[in-house]
Amino acid sequence: MNSNEILMPALSPTMEEGGIAKWLVKEGDIIKAGDLIAEIETDKAIMEFESALDCKISKLLVEEGTNNIKVNTPIVKINDNHIPLPTKNLNKENDKKNKTKKIINPQNDVHDIDLEKNETQKILTVRESIRDALAEEMRADENVFLMGEEVAEYQGAYKVSQGLLDEFGSKRVIDTPITEHGFTGLAAGAAFGGLKPVVEFMTFNFSLQAMDQIINTCAKTLYMSGGQMNCPIVLRGPNGAASQVAAQHSQDFAPWFASIPGLKVIQPFSANDAKGLLKSAIRDPNPVIFLENEILYNDKSASSEIRDELIPIGKANILIEGTDVSIISYGIGIKHSLMAIELAKDINISVELIDLRCLRPIDYNTVFESIKKTNRCITVEECFPVCSIGNHLSASIMENVFDYLDSPVINCTGKDVPMPYAKNLELAALITPEEIFEKIKKVTNLD
């Protein structure tokens, strides 16, 4: 990619091409980060697109009204004298701060897991792995069915349920009205009756409408019935920040749900974990919250070899072994941590990376044993800093392995603000690999 060009953005996970509905700048304009550039017609709506950097518009490469422009096609040429945000180079230097410090844009695919491919390996995206898990469980058990907004005819708001309506029909892949409270209650009743519903929330932000059903019906009935009535239901969908969907569509609910007795809570990173854990969730007799991330659906760093195995709920995964500091994370926090670990290698810090995968139950033993080895700990997540998963882990670590710590536990989270809409402010509100790297240096006394 030419760093002096702005490309047609992917403004939704399923967008492959778009159109320039209207230019909001002209050639010669000097714009700042956050200024609007154009109105882009996507596969869902017309959305405003803003600059992520300070620059001068040298040339508009596409005429207003042009349609069917492929994502990542150059649409604007900008002035050479303005330096854009880095995109795919982990080794770019920031001379103003430190000649060895690297700048990373966490919204781009800058880190790919090195997968040794051969003819017997099956590499899938997270989106594909979730679809396959659903299909396989529905084939194996006729009591499993999928319901939610746009899961059938539209094949999912994020195309997760592609092909399922054609294979299983409208009695098992069910489009619902826009009433989360209603269809979650209907699914809970079906679960009490012996079926195994999988409910898709278009986003977990909309689950707020169904919180009474989730907490008071799904989570508590087994306890309140004295073990006589369980609720084998899976509630799944995207959770946390996406890209410029603002405060009411970007909240991370992982700590909320993980605080509720009676719920199991899963938030995977890799495609293999997403498939193996979703299959386990569907087979579990208890209500399971299955949190996904819109950014990771088609992300190369999260795509992985699929081993077609059930993954037990409540077992963490040591992704990288190390000796100097333990990073404990989950979901998209793993992607940021992987990039920060690449930076740490340059200063010879050995990082152990643990993917929790499950937030209730948490695999405390794996966390504690890692800290006994490294004596330092950083937690990484995108949720708010108050009452985060990292807060809980910090308390548990203090109570159980305090004597092994050589430094206080550090929590890396998103900022304590509602998610901004503007791209530059959104990036500032989210955790970044650079911030994690700075915490790595701090906890190892190298800052």
Closest CA to 158 of 25, 328, 330, 296: 296
**Angle between helix 271-283 and 126-140 (nearest 10):** 30
Complete edge-to-edge strand list for the sheet that includes strand 55-60: 5-7, 74-78, 55-60, 30-31
Distances (CA, A) of 224 to 190, 196, 262, 352: 18, 20, 11, 41
Which are the catalytic amino acids?
Answer: 180, 249
Distances (CA, A) of 260 to 141, 155, 361, 420: 29, 31, 11, 28
Our CA angle for 419, 421, 422, nearest 5°, is: 120
What does the CA dihedral 382, 387, 389, 392 come to, rounded to 10 degrees?
150
H helices of 294-363, where? 333-345
SS3 364: helix
H helices of 12-112, where? none
CB-based burial label for 95 (10 Å; 0-12, 13-18, 19+): exposed
Determine the Cα–Cα distance for residues 276 and 289; give it in Å rounded to an integer.
15
